[in-house]
């Protein structure tokens, strides 16, 4: 009799475990998946925040470059007044090109502000190219001044 009592308790426990165990095991993967999703969302948000920080840093540096070129262009304009008449024509032509390149850079920087995530890299490359072109144009105009200083150190026109 005792044996059948233990046996029936064992069967009941076994029956209950068969009923509830699958439900418990089904929820375990779901919980793991929820945790993985939460972690992925947090890391995604962190990556996005990091990339936003990089974008802001890049914009700030590009704006600094533009301000630096604005200052350099003004300095060249003042120096143009002191240059000899032979050099002035070349310098004015170079300054015109320099101003055009500056406007291209400003336009690209405006696009940079509005660029989507997908267009960011493309727009960034265009801004980099515009900065490079502006640097080349500046160096070209600056070379006119160096030539003028070498041929006419006093800055006075001998014509």
In a domain, 111, yes or no: yes
In a domain, 158, yes or no: no
In a domain, 19, yes or no: yes
Predicted confidence at residue 71, as pLDDT, reads: 92
Phi–psi pair at 155, nearest 5 degrees: 85, -5
Beta strands in the chain (DSSP E): none
Contact 65, 129 (CB under 8 A): no
Predicted confidence at residue 156, as pLDDT, reads: 46
In a domain, 156, yes or no: no
| Separation of alpha carbons 142 and 84, rounded Å | 14
Predicted confidence at residue 116, as pLDDT, reads: 75
Give me the domain span that covers residue 131: 2-151
The CATH number of whichever domain residue 93 belongs to comes to 1.20.120
In a domain, 38, yes or no: yes
Over its length of 159 residues, how does the chain's per-residue pLDDT go in tens digits? 667 777 888 887 777 776 666 655 555 566 666 676 766 666 555 555 547 788 888 889 989 998 998 998 888 888 877 766 766 777 788 888 888 988 988 888 888 777 777 778 888 888 889 889 988 888 888 887 777 666 665 554 444
**Into how many domains does the chain fold?**
1
In a domain, 65, yes or no: yes
In a domain, 67, yes or no: yes
In a domain, 77, yes or no: yes
- What pTM was computed for the model? 0.59
Closest CA to 143 of 135, 103, 19, 101: 135
């Amino acid at each position: 009799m005792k044996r059948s009592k233990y046996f029936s308790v064992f069967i009941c426990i076994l029956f209950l475990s068969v009923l509830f165990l699958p439900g418990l095991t089904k929820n375990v993967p779901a919980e793991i998946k929820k945790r993985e999703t939460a972690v992925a969302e947090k890391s995604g948000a962190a990556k996005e925040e990091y990339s936003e920080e990089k974008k802001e840093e890049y914009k700030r540096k590009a704006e600094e470059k533009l301000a630096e070129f604005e200052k350099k262009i003004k300095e060249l304009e003042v120096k143009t007044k002191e240059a000899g008449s032979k050099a002035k024509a070349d310098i004015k032509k170079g300054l015109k090109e320099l101003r055009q390149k500056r406007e291209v850079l400003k336009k690209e920087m405006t696009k940079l502000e509005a660029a989507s995530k997908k267009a960011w890299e493309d727009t960034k490359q265009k801004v980099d190219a515009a900065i490079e072109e502006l640097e080349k144009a500046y160096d070209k105009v600056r070379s006119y001044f160096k030539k003028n200083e070498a041929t006419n150190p006093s800055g006075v026109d001998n014509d």
